[in-house]
């Protein structure tokens, strides 16, 4: 007797996370068949030989003897206080340890923040392109992600006047990812002030995803949103995964600033949800104070002579020499959002689709990238790569991409 189909929850019908989806599963199959796959689909520093600072590793080891019990639901005090000190150095003076939550990565805290806020039919302003967890965290709770455009022709920077027109009576929050994933755009103070003004005018929760805050190139300058969004509730998200190359520790934080008196009920709900999952990974929390207070080794990687700087240069050089590619140079984060110039592909350009291209690139050239449409954009001619491989491997990858696109153009 056959069993009736076991259906997934309807809450998941519109939830997508293709960065680890069908293409990644196919890459695993190819690896099991003996092929070596260059995986540029995900920002995972440890997979490319990056290590967390040794001082962080020592901090964990030396505190393992007190990491057996659950911690407070918001996290251990030294970790939360370290986040407070970081915020104060940036000019955000109204945060105490009570306003900091430590989570199992920023991903968990994003889900908690949205779960505590949203009801079915609510709306959240989310950038397009976005890191797709933000859209997923909205729709999984029955709300609607309203995507505000960060247009390629504008350097992937949003226009606050355009964003303001999307606010309705159902809008509850606005998400700002700066430095941006997937584009590498870094927003100016003027743009951030315009977005903060929208949040303040309409009493929106300002959600600042700033996990790439110190990963900058050239003259790019990072401006914390919390220094501008002072007259509404502002949630700032950061963590150890990217700047400190410690993804596996699963340690992120959310600091709460701005107006809070009107948000007591919401913040109590956030703490309730934090309590229901008991606490975040305790051993990893002992690395936070050391990470935020010590030498910021990310600067050694992003300035001239550093590995990320060199790989970014190799990416820009390869795209600059390409017949078929274009890119807005990333100013921050660890990604390049590359456009395929479909007008140069002849007849093949009319039918170009980033998902199909990414699959063929994987099957034939053994390179895994993330299709641009994975990031909630209306166009289908981009793909994202991470800057984590060394410069030589990045050059090799783009030689393979160029070869495949040349075959498209010839056929």
pLDDT tens by residue, 332-383:
999 999 999 999 998 888 899 999 999 999 999 999 999 999 999 999 999 9
Contacts of 146 (CB under 8 A, 6+ apart): 123, 124, 125, 126, 166, 171
SS3 34: coil
Count of Cβ atoms closer than 10 Å to residue 3 Cβ: 5
Does residue 58 sit in the same domain as residue 46? no
305 and 368 share one domain: yes
CA separation for the pair 294, 297 (Å, rounded): 9
* Claim to verify: residue 245 and residue 340 sit in the same structural domain: no
One domain, residues 258 and 365: no
Structural domains counted in the chain: 2
Q: What is the pLDDT of residues 219-275, one digit of tens each?
A: 999 999 999 999 999 999 999 999 999 999 999 999 999 999 999 999 999 999 999
How many angstroms separate the CA atoms of 100 and 236, rounded? 9
Structure tokens at 19: 């960065």
Residue-wise pLDDT tens digits, 161-193:
999 999 999 999 999 999 999 999 999 999 999
Q: List, in sequence order, every beta strand (DSSP E) within 276-340.
A: 325-327, 335-340
Boundary (domain end) residue, out of 260, 293, 326: 293
pLDDT at 133: 96
Return the HEC string of 263-287. Answer: HHHHHHHHHHHHHHCCCCCHHHHCC
pLDDT of residue 140: 94
User: Residue 1 — very low, low, confident or very high, per pLDDT cuts 50/70/90?
Assistant: confident
Domain that includes residue 183, residue range: 54-293
Q: Residue 67 has what pLDDT?
A: 95
- CATH code assigned at 307: 3.90.1150.10
Residue 24 placed within a domain: yes
DSSP string, 70-94: ---TT--HHHHHHHHHHHHHTT--S
Query: Can you give the pLDDT at residue 318?
Result: 98
3-state secondary structure at position 219: coil
Q: Is residue 25 part of a domain?
A: yes
- Taking CA atoms, 170 is separated from 76, 122, 125, 180, in Å, by 36, 5, 11, 26
- Domain co-membership, 224 together with 262: yes
Query: Residue 343: its pLDDT value, please?
Result: 94
- For residues 264 and 262, what is the distance between their CA atoms, to the nearest angstrom? 6
Say yes or no: 72 and 146 in one domain. Answer: yes
What confidence score (pLDDT) does residue 101 get?
98
Are 208 and 236 in the same domain? Answer: yes
- Close Cβ partners of 356 (under 8 Å, ≥ 6 residues apart): none
Closest CA to 170 of 124, 234, 233: 124
Distance CA 80, CA 212 (A): 19
Which position has the token pair 């797709």? Answer: 132
Select from 293, 322, 350 the last residue of a domain: 293
**For residue 88, what pLDDT band results from cuts at 50, 70 and 90?**
very high
Residue 395: the pLDDT is: 97
The number of residues in the chain equals: 411
Average pLDDT, the chain: 96
pLDDT cut 70: percent of the chain above it: 100
Q: What is the pLDDT of residue 189?
A: 98
Which of residues 293, 321, 336 is at a domain's end? Answer: 293
Residue 107 has pLDDT above 90, yes or no: yes
Tens-digit pLDDT profile for residues 7-38:
888 888 888 888 788 999 999 999 999 999 99
Q: Which phi and psi angles does 237 have, rounded to 5°? A: -110, 130
Which residues are paired to 386 by β-bridges?
335
Q: pLDDT value at position 20? A: 83
198 with 305, same domain: the answer is no
Question: Residue 329 carries which DSSP code?
Answer: P
Q: Which distant-in-sequence residues (6+ apart) come within 8 Å of 362 by Cβ? A: 23, 26, 27, 30, 37, 368
Is 5 contained in some domain? Answer: no
Classify residue 239: in a domain, yes or no: yes
pLDDT tens digits for 279-289? 999 999 999 99
Confidence category of residue 216, pLDDT binned at 50, 70, 90: very high
- DSSP for 161-202? HHHHTT--TTEEEEEEESS-TTT-----HHHHHHHHHHHHHT
40 and 64 belong to one structural domain: no
Q: Do 87 and 234 reside in the same domain of the chain? A: yes
In this structure, what CATH number is given to the domain that contains residue 181? 3.40.640.10
Tell me: do 46 and 59 sit in the same domain. Answer: no
Residue 375 pLDDT: 96
Q: pLDDT tens digits, residue range 285-329?
A: 999 999 999 889 999 999 999 999 999 999 999 999 999 999 999
Query: Could you tell me if 69 and 197 lie in one domain?
Result: yes
Does the predicted model carry a pTM greater than 0.85?
Answer: yes
Residue 41 domain-assigned?
yes
**Residue 378, domain member (yes or no):** yes
- In this prediction, residue 105 carries a pLDDT of 96
Query: Which of 174, 160, 166 has the alpha carbon at shortest distance from 235?
Result: 174
pLDDT at 386 over 80: yes
The predicted pLDDT at position 381 comes to 96
């Amino acid at each position: 007797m056959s069993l009736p189909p076991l259906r997934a929850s309807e809450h998941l019908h519109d939830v997508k996370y293709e960065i680890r989806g069908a293409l990644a599963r196919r890459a695993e199959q190819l690896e099991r068949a003996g092929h070596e796959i260059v995986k540029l689909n995900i920002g995972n520093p440890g997979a490319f030989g990056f290590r967390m600072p040794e001082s962080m590793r020592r901090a964990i080891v030396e505190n393992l003897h007190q990491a057996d019990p659950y911690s407070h639901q918001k996290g251990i005090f030294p970790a939360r206080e370290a986040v407070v000190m970081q915020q104060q150095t940036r000019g955000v003076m109204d945060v105490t340890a009570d306003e900091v939550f430590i989570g199992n990565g920023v991903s968990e805290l994003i889900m908690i923040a949205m779960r505590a806020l949203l009801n079915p039919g609510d709306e959240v302003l989310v950038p397009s392109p976005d890191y797709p967890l933000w859209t997923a965290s909205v729709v999984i709770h029955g709300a609607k992600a309203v995507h505000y455009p960060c247009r390629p022709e504008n350097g992937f920077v949003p226009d606050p006047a355009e964003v303001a027109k999307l606010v309705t009576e159902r809008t509850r929050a606005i998400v700002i990812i700066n430095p941006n994933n997937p584009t590498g755009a870094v927003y100016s103070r003027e743009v951030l002030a315009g977005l903060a003004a929208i949040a303040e005018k309409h009493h929106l929760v300002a959600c600042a995803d700033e996990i790439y805050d110190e990963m900058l190139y050239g003259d790019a300058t990072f401006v914390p949103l919390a220094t501008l969004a002072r007259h509404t509730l502002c949630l700032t998200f950061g963590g150890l995964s990217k700047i400190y190359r410690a993804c596996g520790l699963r340690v992120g934080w959310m600091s709460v600033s701005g107006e809070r008196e009107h948000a007591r009920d919401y913040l109590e709900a956030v703490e309730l949800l934090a309590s229901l999952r008991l606490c975040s990974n305790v051993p990893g929390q002992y690395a936070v104070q050391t990470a935020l207070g010590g030498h910021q080794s990310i600067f050694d990687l992003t300035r001239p002579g550093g590995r990320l700087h060199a790989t970014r240069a190799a990416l820009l050089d390869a795209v600059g020499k390409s017949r078929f590619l274009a890119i807005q140079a990333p100013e921050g984060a660890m990604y390049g959002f590359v456009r395929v110039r479909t007008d140069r592909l002849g007849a093949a350009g009319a039918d170009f689709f980033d998902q199909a291209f990414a699959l063929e690139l994987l099957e034939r050239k053994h390179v895994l990238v993330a299709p641009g449409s994975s990031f909630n954009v209306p166009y289908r001619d981009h793909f994202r790569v991470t800057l984590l491989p060394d410069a030589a491997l990045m050059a090799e990858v783009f030689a393979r991409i160029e070869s495949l696109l040349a075959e498209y153009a010839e056929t």
